[in-house]
Amino acid sequence: MSLTKIEQLFKAKLALLQQQGISKGNEKIITGRKAAIDGFGPRYFLDGYRDQAFLRMNSNSYLGLTEHPQLIQAEAEAVERFGTGPGAVRFISGTYQSHVELEKKLAQFHGRDAAMIMSAAYATMIGVLPQFISDETLVVSDALNHNCIINAIRLAHPVRKEVYAHADMKALDHILAANKGQVRRVCVVTDGIFSMRGDHASLDQINSCCQRHEAGYEEGIITVVDDSHGVGAFGQTGRGTEEYCGGKADILIATLGKAFGVNGGYVAASSVVIAYLRETAPLYIYSNPITPAEAAAAIAALDIVDSQEGLGLLEKLRSLSERLRTGLERLDFETLSGEHPIVPILVRDTEKTSALVSHLFAHQILATGLNYPVVPKGGQEIRLQVSAEHTEKDVDYLLSVLAKFNR
């Protein structure tokens, strides 16, 4: 037995990624954080870049809650009380008071009967989606859905999969009309906020389209929405795409690791569905939950989002995102309209995307370039992510650096 042959294959693939300019390369290591000062938000230190402090425009911590004293205190107290890890999966002896409390709060937050937490949103999608897909189910999926949805569908082996062009409601309608009588059940699955672009699925339109066709399917049409980038960051009170569009998913999946500033994933639905998932979803049954302390921190995050402070943070996030979008348009960068704190610069070229990322880095700004195959060819972009921990001065600094880029 030896790894020699497989390693040769791997080396060739790694070299190809580098040659194509799409390798992710060495990860940057955060070694410290400098608190906000002089009207600027916090800065981050990186291993190998002594004395330079970076503005982080590529964090999912949209409300800046990862450093919030209430979350830190809640997590620290829960560590003291419960220890560092759950020590078992949920049904053995890994269910702690904070897990159950968090599930109740999440259900309330989303106006559902019940919720169930898992180790990550990715794991939630992989664990949950296949439970709704039989071998007589058609799955209908948006072309820009997140990788976790694509892999969950692969795992589920539906009888058929149809992918509609991004946000194309006519195409969805056509698929639902055309498949009547051919499958017993349909599962329509979409991101709420699309993670690469910050635009959103029109959940109201998806729902009315599904309602129009529901009677044509013996076991109905089920909508599954992953709103990992939407919850806590979008909608007047942070309820995400559902709140913004005024339409509810049958099954809502989201993360605790972005706007809520902690870690973990969850699904919110009816009591029957959640009871069924606790008995059947393998990544719930056979894999540890988040730590009791993480659950305690997430409870604190929900409390903040649902307070005056939370409303203020959401308002600030909207206003900074708007400032950035307007500034980009003024500088003639192509971006997308919207209210979400993901603000893309559509560069549409791999080399130029890399050059712009390097330019920003040289000016102590961390931003992520997204190249094929993460985004479709021609959709190469820089994804800028605004956070409530940023300030107007931060956004203006970013815009001044972008203005200096030689295009």
Positions in the binding site for ligand PLP (CB under 6 A) = 120-122, 146, 148, 191, 195, 226, 228-229, 255, 257, 265
Output Rg (C-alpha) for the chain, integer angstroms. 22
Please give the distance of CA 277 from its chain centroid, rounded to a whole number.
Answer: 22
CB 213, CB 179: distance < 8 Å: no
Active site residue 200: no
Q: Quick one: 66 or 228, whose CB is closer to ligand PLP?
A: 228
Q: Quick one: 259 or 320, whose CB is closer to ligand PLP?
A: 259
Active site residue 104: no
- d(CA 254, CA 248) in angstroms, rounded, equals 14
Question: Least separation, in Å, of the C-beta of 230 and ligand PLP?
Answer: 9
Give buried/exposed letters for 334-345 (b at 16+ CB in 10 A, else e).
ebbebebbbbbb
Question: Least separation, in Å, of the C-beta of 261 and ligand PLP?
Answer: 12
CB 193, CB 234: distance < 8 Å: yes
Name the active-site residue from 258, 316, 340, 390. Answer: 258
Question: Least separation, in Å, of the C-beta of 401 and ligand PLP?
Answer: 25
Q: Quick one: 44 or 122, whose CB is closer to ligand PLP?
A: 122
Tokens of 28: 């940057």
| Cα 36 to Cα 43, 309, 380, distances in angstroms | 7, 18, 32
Active site residue 195: yes
Question: Least separation, in Å, of the C-beta of 329 and ligand PLP?
Answer: 25
Q: Quick one: 122 or 234, whose CB is closer to ligand PLP?
A: 122
Task: Sort 133 into a burial class: Cβ within 10 Å, 0-12 / 13-18 / 19+.
Answer: buried
Name the active-site residue from 166, 229, 316, 390. Answer: 229
Name the active-site residue from 98, 195, 202, 228. Answer: 195
- Do the bridges between strand 160-164 and strand 137-142 make them parallel or antiparallel, or are there none, so unpaired? parallel
Q: Which residues are catalytic?
A: 195, 229, 258
